[in-house]
């Protein structure tokens, strides 16, 4: 057993891995449509971040959506103002097909959110506690 006590151990962040069929398309979407920045890229791997939220991308050209077309992964990024972020991204979001973006709305579980469908079908949600 590790000698560090759980009280002293600091978890810095959780960083999901997304397996994408096309790295260039994924990076274009994350960094041009959404506000992510590439922090590191090598071969079929990229590490991208938006503020304190980070994602690791791994290119797998043979990867396809599940047979039913549903997402395999959903990610949630907590932000201080979902309305402000949505307004900043509006010109990019407005050019996406209607079925790839859900508008900002209050949810029954007490969050104010909007969702964006990623190029490979997964969902990325931005949200904050509803007032």
| Token pair belonging to 101 | 């973006």
User: What pLDDT score does 65 carry?
Assistant: 64
Compute the distance between CA of residue 126 and CA of residue 115 in angstroms, rounded to an integer. 6
Residues shown for the chain: 131
Q: DSSP for 50-94?
A: ETTEEEEEEE-TT----TT---S-EEEEE-S-HHHHHHHHHHHHT
Using DSSP's 3-state secondary structure scheme, residue 47 falls into strand
pTM of the model: 0.79
Answer whether residue 4 is part of any domain.
Answer: no
Residue 99 lies in a domain: yes
Q: Is 3 a member of any domain?
A: no
What is the domain count for the chain? 1
Residue 68 located in a structural domain: no
Domain carrying residue 52: 17-62+73-129
- Pair of tokens at residue 127: 């949200």
114-126 CB burial, b ≥16 within 10 A, e <16:
bbbbbebbbbbbb
**Residue 9: inside a domain:** no
Q: Considering the domain boundaries, does residue 32 fall inside one?
A: yes
pLDDT at 12: 76
pLDDT digits 0-9 by tens, 5-55: 667 777 677 788 888 889 999 999 999 999 999 999 999 999 999 999 999
In a domain, 48, yes or no: yes
Instruction: Give dist(CA 86, CA 67) in Å, integer.
Output: 31
* CATH of residue 123: 3.10.180.10
Residue 101 domain-assigned? Answer: yes
**pLDDT category of residue 68 using cuts at 50, 70 and 90:** low
């Amino acid at each position: 057993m590790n000698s560090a006590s759980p009280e002293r151990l600091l978890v810095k962040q959780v960083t999901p891995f997304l397996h994408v069929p096309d790295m260039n398309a994924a990076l274009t979407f994350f960094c041009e449509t959404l506000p992510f920045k590439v922090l590191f890229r090598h071969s079929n791997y990229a590490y991208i971040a938006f503020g304190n939220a980070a994602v690791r991308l791994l290119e797998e050209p043979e990867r396809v959506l599940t047979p039913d077309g549903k997402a395999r992964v959903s990610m949630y990024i907590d932000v201080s103002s979902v309305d402000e972020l949505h307004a900043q991204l509006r010109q990019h979001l407005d050019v996406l097909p209607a079925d790839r973006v859900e508008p900002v709305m209050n949810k029954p579980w007490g969050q104010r959110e909007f969702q964006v469908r990623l190029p490979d079908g997964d969902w990325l949600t931005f949200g904050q506690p509803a007032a």
